Amino acid sequence: MRVTVRRSEIDGGIAAPSSKSMTHRAVICSALAQGRSRVETPLSADDTEATLRVVQALGVGVERLKGSWIIEGGKLSPPTEDLDCGESGTTLRLMTAVCALAEGPSVLKGGPSLSGRPVEPLLDALRQLGVDCESRGGNPPVKVHGKGGFEGGEVSIRGDISSQFVSALLLVAPFSRERLRVKVTTRLESAPYVGMTLDAMRAFGVQAETSEGYREFTVKRQAYTPTTFAVEGDWSSGAYTLAAGALAGKVSVESLHRGSRQADAAIVEVLGEMGAEPKFRGQGIRVECAELRGIDWDLTDSPDLFPVVAALCSAAKGESRLRGLKRLRLKESDRIASMVEGLSRMGVKTESSGETITIHGGAPAGAVIDPHDDHRIAMAFGVLGLAARGETTVKDAECVSKSYPDFWEDLEALGARIGRKNDG
């Protein structure tokens, strides 16, 4: 499907979709708890459905109700077929560790972009714990020979490729046969996501000791307790509609909690620094169109914000410099290359070097954009199209279903002028 976005003036309010990251974690903790848990307001999107599908294949019971999922957790069974993780890197990495708890072999695989996502550092850590596992050259598919648990002791893992490696170890740490100490050998990037993992574990009754700076974690043998877990709104997805307000009108987004652990809540600081002055109101936040100015910003801990912040910078006055981007070449697409390509098509000058990109803001013009099947690239150019001259056409626009299935409908509800055309 192609979506065409025309320069628009928007005004209105919407509720942010539920957090993708917390839905993954709530489903996994529920699956590991002996008994019945309820996950309220979960996000139903391609990635979270992948995690739900994989836990079901491991013998976990799932009942879908309106606005909630009932999950019957407990002892995991080896799957009878390969586990399809779709294009979800979170599903692949977190569930690779979980599969060590099933007694028998598990094979985790996924789609084309997932086959390029690194997983070897996690497998190396699991091997340190006595888990027999292997991959194809450090990438999926992954095979785990589970033995119902693993040894404890001490394990070292790097934190500069993906914080999901650390989260994966923490989620299964309570099942180690003795106290487990996880030592992070590099700077832990995207550290707030590990904080979200610890929050989810705590909600299900599991405690972890942490050192300052998240360089070391200690988890003793203990059990997850079934509970009711309400998933908060998603700052990653909400950032796009907030950016739409800053570029093209007035937008209020509900269900975004002030003080959230989510890394992408940093969009509030970004918008403020650019001159948009977001305002919290109750359980929501409001942003109005403003003359934006360029910024110098480090996105090391919130790399998923890069596409939308780059879109904002391209419409801002002056030069912007975005840093801390090295892991973005290993996402659903090479996000640096994808954004540079799209911005160039819209007449925006950029320079990229290593993990830094410089954007010369101005007056972007509409163009035909290939998001390379990356949901965040598609949404970023959809938002930028609201402020660009002429028409902006996003190809394969249905890829937003990975995290925000209702994105285009929500933009329309705010007053965006959008047209759709099915390919073929």
User: The domain spanning residue 328 has which CATH number?
Assistant: 3.65.10.10
**Cα–Cα distance between 258 and 218 in angstroms, integer?**
29
Q: Is residue 251 assigned to a domain?
A: yes
Indicate if 200 and 213 belong to the same structural domain: yes
pLDDT at residue 331 greater than cutoff 60 = no
Per-residue pLDDT tens digits for 347-361: 999 998 888 999 999
Indicate if 8 and 42 belong to the same structural domain: no
Q: Is residue 382 assigned to a domain?
A: yes
CB atoms < 10 A from the CB of 343, how many? 25
The residue annotated as part of the active site, out of 304, 370, 373, 410, is 304
pLDDT score of 254? 97
Structure tokens at 157: 């893992």
Domain that holds residue 258: 2-17+233-421
304 is catalytic: yes
CB burial class (10 A; 0-12, 13-18, 19+) of residue 314?
buried
**Which stretches of 232-318 are assigned E, i.e. beta strand?**
249-254, 279-281, 284-288, 296-298
Indicate if 138 and 176 belong to the same structural domain: yes
- Asked whether 215 and 184 are in contact (CB, 8 A), the reply is yes
Indicate if 287 and 215 belong to the same structural domain: no
Cα diameter, the chain: 63
pLDDT score of 228? 99
Per DSSP, the three-state class of 106 is strand
- pLDDT classification of 423: cutoffs 50, 70, 90: confident
pLDDT at residue 364 greater than cutoff 60 = yes
Indicate if 204 and 241 belong to the same structural domain: no
pTM of the predicted model as reported, rounded to 2 decimal places = 0.95
Amino acid at 377: I
pLDDT at residue 374 greater than cutoff 80 = yes
Q: Is the dihedral of CA 266, 269, 272, 277 positive or negative?
A: positive
Q: Give the total number of structural domains in the chain.
A: 2
Per-residue pLDDT tens digits for 228-271: 999 999 999 999 999 999 999 999 999 999 989 999 999 999 99
pLDDT at residue 50 greater than cutoff 90 = yes
Indicate if 32 and 66 belong to the same structural domain: yes
